[in-house]
A = this chain, B = another copy of it.
Amino acid sequence: MHDRSDLLLPRDRYFGPEPRQREIAQHLYTEVAGLPLVCPHGHVDPRMFADPDYSFGSPADLLIIPDHYVFRMLYSQGVGLEALGVPLRQTFEVSETSKVSLETDHRTIWQTFADRFYLFRATPTGMWLTQELVEVFGVQEKLTGDSAQRIYDQIADCLVRPEFRPRALFERFNIEVLATTDAATDPLAHHQALAASSWSGRIIPTLRPDAVVNLHAPGWRQNVAALAAVSGIETGSYRGFIQALEDRRAYFKSLGAAATDHAALTPYTAELSDAEAETIFGRGLAGRATADDAVRFAGHMLMEMARMSIEDGLVMQLHPGSFRNHNVEVFARHGLDKGADIPIATEYTRNLKPLLDKYGRDARLRLILFTLDETTYSRELAPLAGHYPALRLGPPWWFFDSLNGMTRYLDQVVETAGLYNTAGFNDDTRAFPSIPARHDLWRRASVNWLAGLVVRGIVDLCDAEDMAHDMAYRLAKQAYRL
């Protein structure tokens, strides 16, 4: 009855144990499991689709070296990032005392990982990886130190075959649309190439202007100069800077963009006068911007971006609350996005008030809020989204893209905000082959939550079927106007 993969990946996984709830969950899951995947926010490299011959490299290239979810856990248990092949920054000068040789043997890296795969027990990363091994690569045994090299062989054998090229997997995964995340200064060459190609997969860019709106971003002045170069609009003045950004929005939109994305340490918003904005921008160009300037300018630019969203219809996403690059040495050696970003407490009620006062009633604005501070779900975000027409709540983000994270989100958000002020799911990943596993976890968590409502008499089965479809597919499309 059960093949090996059903032991590794039970068919009714993630459903609660009570038989009636499980039966309803299974019924709802059957209804939505085959729906196309809508991926309105993520970090997959568009190059892999622009180049029809793109190869993922070795199993370690695919699954370990670029995945900060994986290597941060090994690092936390004393495995150096060099031993996992995580590259050093080109600008990093290795002194004698800190010299560590970068592991280049990918079988050794894989063995190091497999020996410690037990560290991922009960984590979403472990759950995604297991599903990926079984469903994408057909692995039929548990990953351990013993099975490591056999599984390496099996994945490596797959990766050389044409059906494991990104475009083939995109189709196999049944992805309807995939949004990438791209700097405002990105010329979008890969998106242009895709637009010009005969391949029908829908890959759309998303404009992320953080590097030009944050005065203290590394290389801000060069970024602003690059903005001028790519847009052909002078950015020596604040006014030109704004025009260049508007130009980039139009360009992104012409290549299919549906949204912009904004990271910020806090969701602080406040409008500057034109004169103040010009002055602060000028101090930035002169290299004399203060910490307060940077905060005020970032808060002002969120207001400006909301204004532009009203004008051009691009959906606005806000991802605040991550203290980036917390580990100074990891940042110095390896750079950004190395699993060293740590959340902080985040305040929305007061911080967003200036923006909401000005634009919150305008349904042309669609502002999707995310959080790394779960305390804000029930205290601030659900009440805000349950009131302001411009707001929607994004799905549980990053650390909370997990079975418990989703359950807490649904239990804390929906009673107050209602389901229809949420934005469905997005996978937010740079790990392309993990996309089906991530959506599957969301769909299973959703139907299990809905089945819990049905057995408690809170919604009837007919409503639950409708809600399951909304959560798996429709809400994401509607929220991002896709």
Taking A356-B326, A379-B375, A414-B122 as contacts, is the C-beta distance between A387 and B76 under 8 angstroms? yes
**Complex CA–CA separation, A415 to B119 (angstroms):** 11
Question: What residues on B are CB-neighbors of A460 within 8 Å?
Answer: 7, 142
Task: Please indicate the chain B residues that have their CB under 8 angstroms from the CB of A374 in the complex.
Answer: 375, 378-379
Contacts of A10 in B (CB 8 A): 457
B124 with A415: CB separation less than 8 A: yes
- Which of A15-23, A51-59, A199-207 forms contacts with chain B? A15-23
Interface-lining segment among A158-166, A220-228, A398-406, A428-436:
A398-406
* Extra A-B contacts (12), CB below 8 Å, given A323-B349, A327-B360, A343-B380: A13-B456, A76-B417, A122-B418, A122-B419, A122-B458, A123-B415, A344-B380, A345-B379, A372-B379, A374-B378, A374-B379, A378-B400
Known interface pairs A326-B349, A353-B326; A121-B404 also in contact (CB < 8 Å): no
Residue A339 is within 8 A (CB to CB) of chain B in the complex = yes
Query: Does residue A92 face the partner (Cβ distance < 8 Å to B)?
Result: no
The answer to whether A379 touches B386 (Cβ under 8 A) is: no
Interchain CB contact under 8 A, A123 and B375:
no
Q: Are B458 and A13 in contact (CB under 8 A)?
A: yes
Q: Which residues of B contact A341 (CB under 8 A)?
A: 383
**What residues of chain B lie closer than 8 Å to A12, measured between beta carbons?**
457
A77 B343 Cβ-Cβ under 8 A = no
* 0/1 interface trace, chain A 338-353, chain B, CB 8 Å (1 if under): 0111111101011001
| Bound complex: CA A61 to CA B118 (Å) | 47
In the complex, what's the smallest C-beta–C-beta distance from A416 to chain B, in angstroms? 5
Q: Does A189 contact B (CB under 8 A)?
A: no
Chain B residues near A411 (CB-CB < 8 A): 404
> Which single member of B14, B123, B323 contacts A416 (CB below 8 Å)?
B123
A389-410 interface bits toward B, Cβ cutoff 8 Å, 1 = contact, 0 = none? 1010000000110111100000
Q: How many residues of A contact B (CB 8 A)?
A: 92
Q: Does A64 contact B (CB under 8 A)?
A: no
Q: For residues 302 through 353 of chain A, which have their beta carbon under 8 Å from a beta carbon of chain B?
A: 323, 326-330, 339-345, 347, 349-350, 353
Q: Does A420 contact B (CB under 8 A)?
A: yes
Are A387 and B456 in touch, CB under 8 angstroms? Answer: no
Which residues of chain B have C-beta atoms less than 8 A from A419's C-beta?
121-122
Interface check A102, CB cutoff 8 A: no
Residues 430-468 of chain A, each 1 if its beta carbon lies under 8 Å from chain B, else 0: 000000000000000000000011011111100100110
In the complex the two chains form, what is the Cα distance from A230 to B416 in whole Å?
Answer: 40
A122 touches B453 (CB 8 A): yes
Among B7, B343, B412, B459, contact of A122 (Cβ-Cβ < 8 Å): B459
Is A482's beta carbon under 8 Å from chain B? no
Q: Is the CB of A77 within 8 A of B389?
A: yes
Which residues 73-104 of A sit at the B interface, judged by CB distance below 8 A? 73, 75-78
Query: 3 closest pairs, A vs B, by CB?
Result: A13-B457, A10-B457, A17-B455
- Asked, given contacts A342-B387, A386-B76, A415-B404, whether A456 binds B15 with beta carbons under 8 Å apart, the answer is yes
Residue contact A21 to B17, C-beta cutoff 8 Å: yes
Docked complex Cα distance between A412 and B412 (Å): 14
Asked if A111 is an interface residue, CB under 8 A from chain B, the answer is: no
Given A343-B380, A415-B399, A457-B14, verify A391-B76 contact (CB < 8 Å). Answer: yes
Please encode chain A, from 115 to 142, with 1 for each CB lying within 8 Å of some chain B CB and 0 for all others.
Answer: 0001111111001000000000000001
CB-based contact B17/A459 at 8 Å: no
Contact B415–A402 (Cβ < 8 Å): yes
User: Which residues of the partner chain B approach A73 to less than 8 Å between Cβ atoms?
Assistant: 386, 418
Q: Is A361 an interface residue (CB 8 A)?
A: yes
Give every chain B residue within 8 A of A357 (Cβ-Cβ): 327-329
Please tell me which one of the listed residues B17, B323, B373, B453 contacts residue A456 in the complex, with CB atoms under 8 A apart: B17
Interface hits, A2-39 → B, CB 8 Å:
7, 9-10, 12-18, 20-21
CA distance A200 to B329 in the complex (A): 46
Measured between beta carbons, the chain B residues less than 8 angstroms from A378 are 374, 399-400, 405
Asked whether B386 lies within 8 Å of A72 as measured between CB atoms, the reply is: yes
| A363 contacts across to B, CB distance below 8 A | 78
B344 contacts A350, C-beta separation under 8 Å: yes
- Cβ of A384 within 8 Å of any chain B Cβ, yes or no, is yes
With both chains docked as a complex, state the minimum distance between the C-beta of A412 and any C-beta of chain B, in angstroms: 7
Return chain B residues, CB-CB under 8 Å to A399: 378, 382-383, 415-416
Collect the chain B residues with CB atoms within 8 Å of residue A76's CB: 385-389, 391, 417-418, 421
Distance between Cα atoms of A459 and B383 in the complex (Å): 36
